Amino acid sequence: MIADRRLYTMTDIVATIELLLEAEFGIRVAHRRLHLPHVVGEVAQLCDGLLQRIGLYNQKIHVLSEMNKNIVCSSLKAQKELGYDPKIDLKEGMRRSIRWCLEKGIVI
């Protein structure tokens, strides 16, 4: 995955997806968010790391461990070595991803 240049919080990502689902795809969203103390994410990250070290994966724990983090993928190396110049932002990328899922019959 190669990203754009911006740093996104999980809140940014969720809000963008909710906006697109409702405004452009007519899919109703509950807009329920659970606000937990920062320490909960840290504990979940520790648990996630321990589980993965023994070869296990729990999606809910993994996602919980990321909820208080910023999501960023550096595109610097691709920019330097390949001349990569990101043109698709989060909103357009999510729009395309949602459309693809719906075209493939994936329930959202």
Q: What is the pLDDT of residues 32-77, one digit of tens each?
A: 887 888 899 999 999 999 999 999 999 999 989 988 787 777 788 8
Residue 47 class from Cβ within 10 Å (0-12 exposed, 13-18 middle, 19+ buried)? middle
> What pLDDT, on the 0 to 100 scale, is given for residue 39?
93
Within 10 angstroms of residue 94's Cβ, the number of other Cβ atoms is: 17
Domain boundaries, the chain: 8-103
The pTM score is: 0.71
Average pLDDT, the chain: 90
